[in-house]
Chain A
């Protein structure tokens, strides 16, 4: 891991990671950004979907909520897999999973079908995160780990930005089904992961030791609730829940007033889009360029 730290003269942090480390981080980044694309594209097409299937918009938003909740299932399952068989395979599976679900949802003959496949998509969505995060964080050098974690996580906004761009450019020509079909394109990134990404050495060595010493952790989900890790797990859960409550208390402003307005007029959709975009560019710029530029961008949107 720290072979780069051999020399005494300081090197800039971006030169510190090796090629393999950049490739691994990029894989996680790709997975997460495209995940955001597939997820957020749905927010923009909820209205035409409710019209086509003659279902109330609240029913369509229920799809959205369910997708979010299914993430827990996907995340736990893929995390488990990732701890047992490595970070790469579950990452590829999850990307394939959400891409294919999106694609199939595009052909929905009825609302329940769409509901089902978007819910299944939630599994793939959640599944991407733990593999990607572990892969990137274990590979990346310690010095700039925090920063690159930030860039990784904030790229969610970039994915959302991409989806609103796709909506803005293509919706009139290909409709909501077309937009969902585009959601299959992320699957191409699997080729990249398969070809260029290596398992983090830390994990490989750890797994080898587990086998060697016959001290395998077969059920990691139970392990984190055992003594020794329980306190850590609970405070981490507490922290995450609080963080999400804060995030959604603030973010709640975006969907709620928009949802109400969606009922009355179609232009509301463009409002929703610009909200999305403002929020996203915020995240994106914040991660890259810093506070001042971000405020400027916010002012513009």
Chain B
């Protein structure tokens, strides 16, 4: 069990694929799984990415700037659903898929932080 728990920081790769496949199969419910799986990583991943001097500022800023983009999703989806007569399902699927691909790329470009020791050493001061 422990190795599995420890790999949570690298789980995005697995979870995203999982999410994407599932979402096509069983849209809403499984989607909540995938999104949940991805979102629960934040405290650990963000804390491990930044040195102690700036950790709280960085994780707070990074996390909540994301929320702004997230907040834009609902109006955009509504626009496509209503003005393009697509219904809600298609824009939501596209939004999810694009988001997943984008998240996938971001994770690939970002560092792997598994096993990072949060140290007291000064690193950026």
Q: Contact residues of A with B, CB < 8 Å?
A: 1-2, 13, 65, 68-69, 71-72, 74-76, 78-80, 82-83, 87, 90, 126-127, 129-131, 133-134, 136-138, 142-147, 149-154, 157, 201-206, 209-210, 213, 215-217, 220-221, 223-224, 226, 228-229, 232-233, 235-253, 255-257, 279, 282-283, 286-287, 291, 294-295, 298
Contact = CB atoms under 8 A, between A and B. Distances in A.
30 contacts: A13-B2, A72-B64, A75-B61, A78-B56, A129-B59, A129-B63, A142-B115, A142-B117, A142-B118, A145-B48, A149-B42, A202-B119, A210-B125, A220-B57, A226-B124, A232-B110, A233-B62, A236-B49, A240-B42, A243-B66, A245-B69, A245-B70, A245-B73, A248-B70, A249-B73, A249-B95, A256-B74, A257-B88, A286-B37, A294-B33
Contacts, number: 312
A248 B53 CA distance: 31
Task: Give the one of B27, B38, B53, B57 with max A CB within 10 A.
Answer: B57
Given A245-B102, A249-B96, A126 B60 contact: yes
Size category of the B interface is 35 or more
Contacts of A65: 71
A288 to B, nearest CB: 12
Interface in B61-92: 61-71, 73-74, 77-78, 88, 91-92
B92 A250 contact: yes
A240 B63 contact: yes
B64 A247 contact: no
Given A153-B43, A220-B54, A229-B50, A253 B88 contact: yes
Contact of B56 (A131, A247, A287): A131
B2 to A, nearest CB: 6
A92 to B, nearest CB: 14
Contact of B125 (A79, A202, A213): A213
A250 B111 CA distance: 27
B32 A130 contact: no
A226 B50 CA distance: 13
B17 interface: no
Contacts of A75: 60-61, 63-64
A149 B43 contact: yes
